């Protein structure tokens, strides 16, 4: 999950695994694999960085949720 902010400033957590596309139109529009579309305050680069960091954390902790 990544933390982002709605255009009104309220924060929420988004499942990074559901992100299909991120584009600037001019606000940042995140389209999910479900078809839902969300506008966020973060820039396209920030959303990409948040998602990349999320996947890096997961890759570094492949044992997470399982017995070591």
Domains and CATH numbers, the chain: 2-60 (2.40.50)
16: how many CB neighbours lie within 10 A of its CB? 18
Q: What is the pLDDT of residue 66?
A: 60
pLDDT above 70 as % of the chain = 88
Task: Look at 64 and 15; give whichever has higher pLDDT.
Answer: 15
pLDDT tens, position by position, 30-60: 999 999 999 999 999 999 999 999 998 888 7
- State which H helix or E strand residue 21 sits in: strand 19-24
Q: Is the pTM of this model over 0.75?
A: yes
Q: What is the pLDDT of residue 61?
A: 66
What percentage of the chain's residues is helix, strand, coil (to nearest 5)? 30, 35, 35
Are the C-beta atoms of residues 48 and 9 closer than 8 Å to each other?
no
Q: What is the pLDDT of residue 56?
A: 87
């Amino acid at each position: 999950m990544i933390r982002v902010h709605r255009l009104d400033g309220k924060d929420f957590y988004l499942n990074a695994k559901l992100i299909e596309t991120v584009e600037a139109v001019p606000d940042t529009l995140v389209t999910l694999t479900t078809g839902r579309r969300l506008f966020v305050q973060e820039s396209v680069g920030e959303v990409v960085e948040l998602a990349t960091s999320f996947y890096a954390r997961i890759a570094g902790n492949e044992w997470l949720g399982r017995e070591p």
